[in-house]
Structure 1
Amino acid sequence: MEAITFPNDQITMAGNLYLPEGLDRTGRHPAVVVVHPGGGVKEQAAGLYASKLAEQGFVALAFDASYQGDSGGEPHHLEDPYARVDDVRAAVDHLQTLDFVDPERIGALGICAGGGYSVNAAMTDYRIKALTTVSAVNVGTSFRRGWYGTDADAAAVPTLQALAQQRTAEAAQDAEPTYLPYVPAEPDENTPRDLVEASDYYLTPRAQHPNAKNKFLFTKSVSRIFTFDAFHMVEDLFTQPVLVVAGSEAGSLWMSTELHGRARGPKKLRIVEGGTHMDFYDVPKYVDQAIAEATPFFTEHLAATSTDQG
């Protein structure tokens, strides 16, 4: 693994580049951009998947989102879906500058919200030749409709009203900027199982990291998140092959099945029996199954052509 930086307009991005053992740097190899969940950093699930993809022969890049982790951008702790999508494009930019990466054989793998962001990026960036989502989340839709997707979009209105009041107070300098947690610090009996497990993942030694602060700016993030739809126009613009991996017990499963149902290109849905949303972050049984699906998928769709081979 090599710690790297790369540009994203005026922001300096921080990433970890995972290379296959014994990589021939004189050749050109397939590569995968790995996109972390909301609230995550490159050292957590994204880094785990990147390392395992490297073991399978792919160059893999995990990076911190702009405004988060070790990456630049102010104000920090901003969750901006449109910036997150741009991050994916910037990561592809960087991979295409590497002499040992084939610029025509780049894919993406997104976890949780990173899955939704990856889909949205691929819709307008056809340099991404193939995409895998793992426990995919369409973050804007999830925020509006709730974790299980059972609320109407209008359920977001009270939060937006509170946001307006908070923004007014901050503009008048009567209040400091406020933050919301990505995952509940103190889950209760009403907390969805997946989010209880998310709290255990992010806030205990299981996967806790000092750069994952479990907070995002309320006013500046929510106003961007609530109007974002990662799957908007997916039927018309998303043409690449897609592998959708999710657990049968995940409360977020509805977003994976929606993506698979709406995608019009080559697609495969792999529902892993017994898996929850968070199982695919670090539980070996489930991570290994996701990699076992992703490896042949990327091998097929990022294969060198006779022209590539000269």
Structure 2
Amino acid sequence: MHREEDVEFLVGGVTLRGRLFLPADAATPPPVVILQGGLGGPAESNWPMAPAFTAAGLACLSYDHRSTGYSDGEPRQEFDPWQQCRDLRDVITHLTLRDDLDADRLGLWGVSIGGANSMFTAAMDRRVSAVVSIIPPVSGWSARQLQPEATLAELEALIPVDRQNRLRGEPAATIRLHGAPEPGRPVMFSDQEGLEFVENAIHGLPSFRNEITISTLDRIFEMEVTAYAERITQPLLMVLASQDTVAPVEEAREMFSRMPEPKELIEYPGQHYEILSKHFPEIIERTAGWLAATLDA
């Protein structure tokens, strides 16, 4: 059993909205874990997993990043990992002001780009006590390899045009986030396993929109979390897919090799979305248990 409340955080003039879940029978303020999903995944896609964390004695929070989901911010559907990490640090500050949470025992948990965000934030913020990073894309340069050469050239040609148009006051241009490739209609993710996973887990949610701004591509391509490996000194659990090409597993392994102890690496066989389709409930239970033990819940 748990109790939950809708929460708002004023961050840099923008209101972020989410939901906080707390163990129902906690005698003292519990540790708290902030959950982040993958690119385009709204906060409410994380809410069903909350019972696994509260049953382990942890409070957990999932909120929508600025310009997405139920949070404010313009342009809509702009995903900027660096800005998301700055906002995350402000959200941590908000949590430290609550008497019903023990923010001195705070963990970060993230999937895909959320896992990358969690590691970067831990590298920069000593208030983070533990990190779980699941199938993280650690290099923005590699994100370019998701597209065939011709499609990548088409997308990159749109970026400076969009910059000019936005300077003129025109709306931000967008592309589809998931879908089948079509001539003249670029899409970010088109692999079949990924499409099946997001259609089952995300596409039906009220706060989901199947698009990202063109400028999101710029923001993702510039993110290089691997450069911060040596700065992540908190206990870390990394969960990888052994054949991942969406978030290249070789790069994540290399980053892990440079991170200080204590750290633990778990690999599941398969591709990026494949391990989520086949093993996600187990991964959630396993990582929630690890965080509970590490944060002494």
TM bucket normalised to smaller: 0.7 to 0.9
Give the distance between the partners of 1:262 and 1:146, measured in 2 at CA: 25
Secondary structure of the residue aligned to 1:264 is coil
1:3 and 2:6 equivalent? yes
Secondary structure of the residue aligned to 1:53 is helix
Is the 8 Å Cα contact of residues 245 and 256 (structure 1) preserved in structure 2?
no
Give the distance between the partners of 2:126 and 2:264, measured in 1 at CA: 19
Change (3 A) 1:16 1:221: same
- Cα displacement (A) at 1:62: 0.8
Change (3 A) 1:133 1:86: same
- 1:278 maps to a residue whose letter is Y
Aligned length: 287
1:267 and 2:260 equivalent? no
Give the distance between the partners of 2:260 and 2:195, measured in 1 at CA: 35
Is the 8 Å Cα contact of residues 279 and 287 (structure 1) preserved in structure 2?
no
For residues 70-109 of structure 1, the aligned pairs below 5 Å read: 70-109=70-109
Is the 8 Å Cα contact of residues 202 and 208 (structure 2) preserved in structure 1?
no
Give the distance between the partners of 1:8 and 1:213, measured in 2 at CA: 23
Q: Which residue is equivalent to 2:21?
A: 18
Q: Which residue is equivalent to 1:223?
A: 218
User: Which deviates further from its counterpart, 251-260 or 239-248?
Assistant: 251-260
- 2:261 maps to a residue whose letter is G
Shift >6 Å, 4+ stretches: 155-158, 191-194
For residues 69-218 of structure 1, the aligned pairs below 5 Å read: 69-138=69-138, 140-146=140-146, 159-171=155-167, 177-183=172-178, 185-186=179-180, 195-203=191-199, 207-218=203-214
Secondary structure of the residue aligned to 2:78 is coil
Secondary structure of the residue aligned to 1:88 is helix
Change (3 A) 1:270 1:222: same
Identity within the alignment, %: 24
User: Which deviates further from its counterpart, 225-234 or 237-246?
Assistant: 225-234
Give the distance between the partners of 2:172 and 2:268, measured in 1 at CA: 41
1:30 and 2:31 equivalent? yes
Secondary structure of the residue aligned to 2:120 is helix
Unaligned stretches of 5+ in structure 1? 305-310
Change (3 A) 1:193 1:94: closer
Secondary structure of the residue aligned to 1:181 is strand
Give the distance between the partners of 2:225 and 2:152, measured in 1 at CA: 17
Is the 8 Å Cα contact of residues 201 and 207 (structure 1) preserved in structure 2?
no
Give the distance between the partners of 1:121 and 1:164, measured in 2 at CA: 29
- 2:54 maps to a residue whose letter is A
Give the distance between the partners of 1:187 and 1:49, measured in 2 at CA: 32
Change (3 A) 1:201 1:291: closer
Change (3 A) 1:205 1:34: closer
Is the 8 Å Cα contact of residues 42 and 62 (structure 1) preserved in structure 2?
yes
Is the 8 Å Cα contact of residues 35 and 88 (structure 1) preserved in structure 2?
no
- Cα displacement (A) at 1:160: 3.5
- Cα displacement (A) at 1:221: 2.2
- Cα displacement (A) at 1:78: 0.8
- Cα displacement (A) at 1:9: 2.2
Q: Which residue is equivalent to 1:246?
A: 240
Give the distance between the partners of 1:103 and 1:206, measured in 2 at CA: 30
Q: TM-score normalised to the size of structure 2?
A: 0.84
- Cα displacement (A) at 1:204: 5.2
Secondary structure of the residue aligned to 2:104 is strand
Give the distance between the partners of 2:199 and 2:92, measured in 1 at CA: 31
Change (3 A) 1:72 1:269: same
Give the distance between the partners of 1:28 and 1:106, measured in 2 at CA: 12
User: Which deviates further from its counterpart, 116-125 or 90-99?
Assistant: 90-99
Q: What does the per-residue CA deviation read over 1:207-250, in whole Å, with 9 as the maximum and x for residues that have no partner?
A: 522321121111x3233222221222322x21111101123343
- Cα displacement (A) at 1:108: 0.5
Q: Which residue is equivalent to 2:43?
A: 42
Q: What does the per-residue CA deviation read over 1:102-150, in whole Å, with 9 as the maximum and x for residues that have no partner?
A: 1210011011100001111111111111000112223623423438xx9
- Cα displacement (A) at 1:170: 5.0
Q: Which residue is equivalent to 2:67?
A: 67
